Amino acid sequence: MEHQIASSVLSVGLLVFVAHFFTALFERTKVPDVLPLILIGIVIGPTGLNFVDESNFGNIGSILSAIALALMLFEGGSHLTFETLRSTLRDCVLLSICTFFITAGITFSILYFVLQQELLPALYIGAVLGSISPAVVVPIVRGLKISEITKSTLVVESAISDVLSIVLALSILKAFQAGGTTLGHFIGTNIIATMAMSIMVGFGGAIIWSTILEKIRKFPNTIFTSLAFLFILYGLSEVLGYNGPVTTLIFGLVLANSKKIPLDIIQRFGADRLIEFTSIEKTLFSEIIFLVKTFFFVYLGISIKFGQIYFMSIGLLLTIIIYGSRLFLVKYLTPKETSQREAALIAFIIPKGLAAAVLAEIPIHMDFNQHAHALFLDVQSIVYAVIFFSILLTAILIYREENRNSSSPFIKKFFKDFRAITSPSGE
């Protein structure tokens, strides 16, 4: 027993050191640091050396997923400004919605009409795979030399698609539990209400916390209180039936732009000014996010199973089709003043990740009959395969584009109507 504990502690220490190395590697090669972490999970998991199994984590895996999602969306929001958000929101929303529904529609069509999957799992997989993972996107865009507008576009798009995916997927499950007659009602009402209320909780929480933060700091040992309040907001939003990820995104956005909040709004909350995070608090958040991200993506690698060739093949096929359709969506929906290189990166950076993994697991624990339960085990296998291949393909494409002196001939020709540049440093 003592030997196992010692080995676990040793492994944790080594993993943190290795994760720092991968972060440095990303700075040099632009290979996303999450990919090596997933590969470590695959190597030590059932597919590889079988040192550890998904079941060893118990409920920790789902809790870790929620924490990682909350922290990374908070960080994503904290790096946005009202100005860049305002300038990108219109185009971003259009691209997000079109990408989500076309991806979901194509996925459903292939599974249902071509591969003869049953209706429920085909619909569900379509909704799940429409998302773009903020947990993967945010760390990637922070390390790329691209414009703030493009960074904002990718971060906000990933958040919007995550919301659509979570709401639509859960609405499908609720509708089928209710007999399949209320799908339109669930979708129509839930998306609008969830978005609005999640934004209100995040905005109100940010204003309240910013007004009392200075008083909180007068007490000893309060450096973790902002983190605790973030989790309270996330949990409260989820308990109330809203969307925790959106709430944390808005929370981070408002705190980062607190000086730009109109004074009359601030005064309604009984405050004369809003307080920003100190450099120490920002560093704390950054370090915690780094640790959580490290362990989550290793856990994700452990959870991916390569034993069933059929489902892995479906996952690869869906990934290729999703990326192919994304190219055309970016070509026709992205402003032409965008550079060819940045248009290519917008097309490439659509990995699936955390939300998809969590959504793939939820139906397995729901009260369905044995047949439906077996179908959703297949759903999980397909979704995990797409998560792996999409992150792998994103890494390959980013690496190729970032390590060229200029965009590839294909990119130049495909995005010929966009602004041409000579090199990545030309941004």
Q: Which two tokens stand for residue 199?
A: 């934004």
- Enter the DSSP assignment of 269: T
332 and 389 Cβ atoms separated by less than 8 Å: no
Instruction: Supply the pLDDT for residue 8.
Output: 64
Helix axes 183-216, 148-177, angle to 10 degrees: 130
Instruction: Supply the pLDDT for residue 424.
Output: 46
In 30-81, which ranges are continuous DSSP H helix? 34-44, 60-78
| Residues 152, 134: Cα–Cα separation, whole Å | 12
Of all helices (H) and strands (E), which one includes residue 307?
A: none
**Pick from 133, 154, 151, 153: which is nearest to 142 by CA?**
151
Q: How far apart are the first and last CA of the chain?
A: 56
The amino acid present at 229, given as its one-letter code, is F
410 and 418 Cβ atoms separated by less than 8 Å: no
| Residues 194, 356: Cα–Cα separation, whole Å | 19
**pLDDT tens digits, the chain, 427 residues: what are they?**
566 667 667 777 777 778 777 777 766 776 777 888 888 988 888 888 887 776 666 566 667 777 877 887 787 777 777 877 777 777 788 899 999 999 999 999 999 999 888 888 888 999 999 999 887 888 888 778 888 889 888 988 988 888 788 878 877 777 666 655 455 555 555 667 777 888 899 998 988 888 888 788 888 877 888 889 999 999 999 888 787 878 888 898 888 887 787 777 777 766 666 777 777 877 888 888 888 878 878 888 888 877 788 999 999 999 999 999 999 999 999 999 999 999 999 999 999 987 888 788 778 777 777 777 788 888 888 999 999 999 999 999 988 887 777 778 889 899 999 988 654 444 4
**Helix, coil or strand: residue 46:** coil
**Helix, coil or strand: residue 367:** coil
Question: What would the CATH number be for the domain defined by 2-426?
Answer: 1.20.1530.20
Q: Where are the domains of the chain?
A: 2-426
157 and 84 Cβ atoms separated by less than 8 Å: no
Q: Is 50 left (phi over 0), alpha (psi -120 to 50) or beta?
A: left
Length of the chain, in residues = 427
Q: What angle do CA 182, 188, 193 make, to 5 degrees?
A: 120
Q: Could you count the other beta carbons within 10 Å of the beta carbon of residue 119?
A: 12
DSSP 208-254: HHHHHHHHHTTSSS-TTHHHHHHHHHHHHHHHTTS-HHHHHHHHHHH
Instruction: Supply the pLDDT for residue 35.
Output: 85
> What are the respective helix, strand and coil percentages of the chain, to the nearest 5?
75, 0, 20
Sign of the Cα torsion 292, 142, 20, 348 reads positive
The amino acid present at 373, given as its one-letter code, is H
As separate numbers, helices (DSSP H) first and strands (DSSP E) second, the chain gives 17, 0
Which residue is associated with the tokens 């009359």? 264
41 and 304 Cβ atoms separated by less than 8 Å: yes
Q: Which residues have C-beta within 8 Å of that of residue 74, sequence separation ≥ 6?
A: 230, 248, 249, 251, 252, 285
Q: Is 255 left (phi over 0), alpha (psi -120 to 50) or beta?
A: alpha
The amino acid present at 357, given as its one-letter code, is A
